[in-house]
Structure 1
Amino acid sequence: MNYTHTELWLIILALGVGTFVIRFSFLGILGDRQLPPWLLRHLRYTAVAILPAMVTPLILWPQATGGQMDPVRIAAAAAALGVGLWTKNAIWAIVAGMGSLWGLGWLLG
C-alpha cells in the first residue's frame, strides 16, 4: 500500500488520538475513584495474561524461521516455564529461558 504524506500523517494522528482516548477513559475518568474490590482482584491478572499472549506467537511461529516451529525455542520456553513454576521468580525464569535458547542454539546450530 502506498499512502500520500497527508494520508500517513492523518493515520498517525488518528492512532494517537485513539490511544489517548483509550488511556484517558481508564486513567482520566476513573483515576481518582475507588475501584470495587472485585475489579481490583481481576486487574491483578492483567500482566499475567498479556505477557504469554505476546510471547506465544514468537515461540510457535517465529519470524526468524519463516513461521516454522523451532524445537530450540520450544525447549527454551519449556525451560523458562519449568524454572518459573519451580522458583516462582520471573527473573530466574527469564535467565533460564534465555540461557537455554542460547545454549541449545549454539549446540544444535
Structure 2
Amino acid sequence: MSGEMSDLKIWVIIIVLGIGTFLIRWSFLGALGDRELPGWFLRMLRYTPVAVLPALVAPLVLWPAATGGQPEPARLAAAAATVAVGLLTRNVILAIAAGAVTLFGLLYLLA
C-alpha cells in the first residue's frame, strides 16, 4: 500500500476537521452565547490565557527547533526577562516587549 493519499481523501479530512472545529466553537458561542454562565465557570475562564501562553512558549524556550532542541542563553534570558517584567509591572505588553528586545538583542550580540 502506497503512502500517498488521494485528493478525495485529503478533502474529506479537511472537511471533517472543519466541521469538528466549527462544532467545538459553536458549543460555546451558539449553545451558550445567550445564557448567563455560572460564576465558578467565569472564574475558571480567567485562567485560560495564563495557562495557554506558557504552554505555547515553553517548548520554544526549552527545546527550540532553531538550535536543534538545545536550550540557548538568548532564549532563556528572554524568557527570564519576560517573566521578571511581567511580575514587576503586571503589564502583558511590556513583558512581551521586554522579552522580544532581550531575545533579538542577545541573538544579535551572540551571532
Distance in 1 between residues matched to 2:26 and 2:93, nearest whole Å: 32
Question: Which residue of 49, 52, 56 maps to 1:50?
Answer: 52
Q: Where does the alignment leave 5 or more consecutive residues of structure 1 unmatched?
A: none
- 1:108 Cα deviation from its structure 2 partner: 1.4
- 1:2 Cα deviation from its structure 2 partner: 2.5
More helix per residue: 1
Residue identity over aligned pairs, in percent, reads: 60
Q: Which runs of 4+ in 1 moved over 6 A?
A: none
Question: Which residue of 85, 93, 105 maps to 1:83?
Answer: 85
Letter paired with 1:11: I
- 1:27 Cα deviation from its structure 2 partner: 1.2
Q: Where does the alignment leave 5 or more consecutive residues of structure 2 unmatched?
A: none
Distance in 1 between residues matched to 2:80 and 2:5, nearest whole Å: 43
Letter paired with 1:59: V
Q: Which residue of 2 aligns with 1:94?
A: 96
- 1:63 Cα deviation from its structure 2 partner: 1.2
What RMSD in Å do the two structures reach over aligned CA positions? 1.0
Q: List aligned pairs for 1:13-92, cutoff 5 A.
A: 13-92=15-94
TM-score (norm 1): 0.94
Distance in 1 between residues matched to 2:37 and 2:96, nearest whole Å: 33
TM-score (norm 2): 0.93
Distance in 2 between residues matched to 1:65 and 1:6, nearest whole Å: 38
Distance in 1 between residues matched to 2:93 and 2:7, nearest whole Å: 44
Distance in 1 between residues matched to 2:109 and 2:4, nearest whole Å: 44
Distance in 1 between residues matched to 2:14 and 2:87, nearest whole Å: 41
